[in-house]
Structures are given as structure tokens and as C-alpha cells.
Structure 1
Amino acid sequence: MPHIPKIAIVGPESTGKSTMSDYLAAHYNTIAVPEYAREYCAKLTEPCTWQDEINMFYGQLALEEELLPRANKLLICDTTFITVKIWSDEMFGEAPKEVLDELPKHPYDLYLLLNIDLPWQDDPLRNFPTMRKHFMDVWHKELQALNANYIVISGTGADRYQSAVKAIDDFLI
């Protein structure tokens, strides 16, 4: 199987990652890997535990692996398991060893880091409306630590989508 570039759509809460992922998948006539943690957390009846974080890590990896063969020239990923590291660090003070060990082994070809310039949208699965700047700084730090190829996507409406398409088109050239 030829290499399929993986494009990761990442960023703090309420930055439009899922909407952007769906838009880009439609634009490029490919598939978007949904955020496994969203569905997983929606089913929780107790606060998220350390084991839940590990389960979400493995779930995200398995979902990407399952959907990769259906990709048409590139795979759009609505977040990555870096989110598990970021949430674990915030909630538990550290991340699971499995996640830390696997981070460098699962690179994405391009990360689009969505900026916090969209208004906050309430959602029962979102927790930190006042910490968006903090988490944006954390995303920069995590991506830089991985020496990741990433671009910050800003703007609203069509401008935001056009910036993302331009970033991917420039990468694909």
C-alpha cells in the first residue's frame, strides 16, 4: 500500500476541529477519522479515569488503522492521541507510559493547529472555557517537542476553511 499522508486537525476545545475535519474530508473526497474520545466520553457515567485515558489512546489508534485503507490519497484525522497526553497531564499530572512511548512512533505528515479565535460553544463534553489560551500554548509545546510539521489556522467562516485547504495544498505540492 502506498504511503497515505495523514493530516491531523488539532487544537484546544471549541476550535472547530470536527467541523473542519468533515469539511476537509469532503473537499478532498476522502475520509475523516472521528475523535474516538468524544464517543467514548459521551458513554461515561463517572468521571474519566486513568484507564479511560489509556482506552481512548488505544481506541484512537485502532480507529485510524481501521479507516486508513478507505482513504483517498490522504487521511484527515479529527484530533490525535496527543490529546490523551495533554488531558492526562492536566487531569492526573502525567500521561500514561504507553502514550509517551508511542507518540514518536505515530507521526502525522501535517498538523493543522486550529486557533482559539472562534467563540466558545458550550458542550457537555467540554470542560475548560477559561483555559483556551493555556491549552493553545500546550499544543504549541507538544507539537514542537515532536518536531512536528504544523501550521496554525486562524480566521472564521470561509476564510478559516480556505486557510486549511491552502495549507494542505501547499504541503501536497
Structure 2
Amino acid sequence: MLRVALTGPESTGKTTLSRLLAEHYHTVWAPEYAREYLEARGPRYVLADLEEIARGQLQAEAAAEQAARRLGRPVVFCDTDLLVIKVWAEHAFGYCPNWILRHIEHHHYHLVLLLNVDLPWEPDPLREHPQHRQYFYHLYQQELRNQVANFAEISGTPGQRLDAACFHVDTLLGSKPLTPFPS
């Protein structure tokens, strides 16, 4: 099972691109658990909430992988990853729990798509830092370099982003065409 994560600052189109990639490759995707969690509990959070969000994200990814396996699909997409939790925790609290750091160190994706901040900011009650998107983008970029992760930076219009992402996923898959879900 090839695992592809989409990461980066807020309001960069991760959810939209995750959904479009899953549709394009006839597979499933793991939605961002933080949105579900914060919509249910409100936008205020403490470090313990971020840990719960991290656990929920891992569960969502595991469920998506199982669903993709049942469907016989070779790839699954993850809308965000624990790197988002690390950056978020360190920015908000100056600290990231060790278990999350260990998980990031040992739980790699076959490909990470780092989404650039060149799309317009879309206001949302759960988003916090419109003025710091470039700062956060550089943090993600440096973290991925430090991890020696297989990552690609994705920029441009939504259509250009999908094309670029598909190019990198096709390369990962060895350009094997995927058939649609059986009817």
C-alpha cells in the first residue's frame, strides 16, 4: 500500500486536492481529523486536544488504508499528517509530545505533497494564522528536508496542483493505469 500525505499550512487546498486525487485514482482518502474534532468541540484547544487529534488522524489513516486494501487499490491519500500536529504544537505550546515526534521519525509516507501558500486565504472559524502562511510553509519545507522525506512542492491553480500531484503519484506508481471501482 502506497501512502501519500498532503501537508502544509492552513488554507492551501489539502482537503480539496486529497479528494480529487482519491477520485482520480479510484481510491479512498483519510480526511483531516482535526476539523471533525474541532467542529464538535469548538476552536479552543490545549495540548491534550492536539494529542487526541493526532490519535484520531492515525485512526483515520488506518481506516482509509484498510478500505483501500479491501477495494484492491494500491494507493491511499492522507489529508494532513502528524507533521501538521508537530508544527501546530510547537507554535502554540512551544513543545510537541515525544510520542508524536517518535511516530513522525518512524512512520514515513511514500510521498509527501507540500502545498504552497499561493492560493488565496479562505476564512474559516477554525483557521488561525492568515498572516503567517509563508512562515509556516518554510517550517514544513525545512522539516521535510530534515527528515530526508520523499516530498514534492505543489503550487499553482487548483488544476495545476492536480496535474503536478498526479505526475508525482504516477511516478510513484510506476505509471500503472488504475481501473475505476467495479460497478
Normalised-by-shorter TM-score class: over 0.9
How much does 1:46 deviate?
6.4
Please name the residue that 1:167 is paired with.
Answer: 168
Structure 1 runs of 4+ aligned residues shifted over 6 Å read none
What SS class does the counterpart of residue 144 from structure 2 fall into?
Answer: helix
Please name the residue that 1:99 is paired with.
Answer: 100
- Structure 1 stretch 18-27 or stretch 135-144: which is displaced more? 135-144
How much does 1:159 deviate?
1.6
How much does 1:119 deviate?
0.6
- Distance across 1 between alignment mates of 2:103 and 2:161: 31
- Distance across 1 between alignment mates of 2:84 and 2:23: 24
Does residue 18 of the first structure (1) align with residue 19 of the second (2)?
no
Please, which runs of 5 or more residues in structure 1 have no aligned partner?
none
Please, which runs of 5 or more residues in structure 2 have no aligned partner?
175-183
How much does 1:157 deviate?
2.9
Please name the residue that 2:122 is paired with.
Answer: 121
Q: State how 1:30-41 maps to structure 2 within 5 Å.
A: 30-41=27-38
Q: CA RMSD in A?
A: 1.1
Please name the residue that 1:48 is paired with.
Answer: 45
Deviation digits for residues 67-97 of structure 1 (CA, Å, limit 9, x no counterpart): 2121111010001111111100000001011
Please name the residue that 1:59 is paired with.
Answer: 56
The aligned length equals: 170
Does residue 112 of the first structure (1) align with residue 113 of the second (2)?
yes
TM-score by length of structure 1 reads 0.95
What SS class does the counterpart of residue 127 from structure 2 fall into?
Answer: coil
Please name the residue that 1:27 is paired with.
Answer: 24
- Distance across 1 between alignment mates of 2:158 and 2:145: 28
Identity rate of aligned residues, in percent? 39
Question: Does structure 1 retain, via aligned residues, the 8 Å contact 2:43–2:126?
Answer: no
TM-score by length of structure 2 reads 0.90
What SS class does the counterpart of residue 86 from structure 1 fall into?
Answer: helix
- Distance across 2 between alignment mates of 1:134 and 1:145: 17
